[in-house]
Amino acid sequence: MTDEPRTRTGGCLCGGVRYRVVGEIRPVINCFCSQCRKTSGHHFAATRAGLEQFQLLSEESLAWYSSSDTARRGFCNRCGSSLFWQRRGTRTISITAGTLDGPTGLSTMKNIFVEDRSDYHDLPALK
Ligand SMILES: [Zn+2]
Ligand SMILES: [Zn+2]
């Protein structure tokens, strides 16, 4: 056994964006708000890490969209993967859990803004 912190990697569908995150990261939160619904096509499921834990390994196709006055969203401008959400002025980054290379070792902790989900959308059960 080692004391090395766990390192996870992830990236977009085409590989133009790759990242690494080192150490403990937050369990997954599903956000159903209208912005997350639009950007993900369903709901946004994300973990979160401190910026000091996070490193971009490739960002050749990474683009950012200012989705509100307070936040921006990172995506791949080639394959369209939705990757990151970042609140301005914070030292953290939310990372879409599905872009992590598995197994993630994560669990889902909660659903938020569930009242904003679309009418077809049954709430995912939490473990
Ligand atoms: Zn891509
Ligand atoms: Zn949201």
23-69 per-position pLDDT tens digit: 999 999 999 999 999 999 999 999 999 999 999 999 999 999 999 99
Q: What is the CATH number of the domain that holds 20?
A: 2.170.150.70
Q: Are 60 and 77 in contact (CB under 8 A)?
A: no
Q: How far is the CA of 32 from the centre of ligand 2 (A)?
A: 6
Mark the residues whose beta carbon lies below 5 A from ion ligand 2: 31, 33, 36
* pLDDT computed for residue 2 by the predictor: 65
Does residue 125 belong to any structural domain of this protein? no
Q: Which of 87, 6, 89 is CA-nearest to residue 46?
A: 87
Instruction: Residue 110: give the domain boundaries.
Output: 7-116
Mapping DSSP to helix (H, G, I), strand (E, B) and coil, where does residue 123 land?
A: coil
Does residue 75 belong to any structural domain of this protein? yes
Q: Are 109 and 40 in contact (CB under 8 A)?
A: no
Q: How far is the CA of 107 from the centre of ligand 2 (A)?
A: 18
Does residue 16 belong to any structural domain of this protein? yes
Asked if the model's pLDDT at residue 87 lies above 70, the reply is: yes
How many folded domains does the chain comprise? 1
* pLDDT computed for residue 125 by the predictor: 82
Q: Are 49 and 93 in contact (CB under 8 A)?
A: yes
Counting ligands in written order, the one closest to the CA of 39 is 2
Distance CA 33, CA 79 (A): 23
Distance CA 40, CA 21 (A): 22
Q: Rounded to two decimals, what is the model's pTM?
A: 0.93
Does residue 121 belong to any structural domain of this protein? no
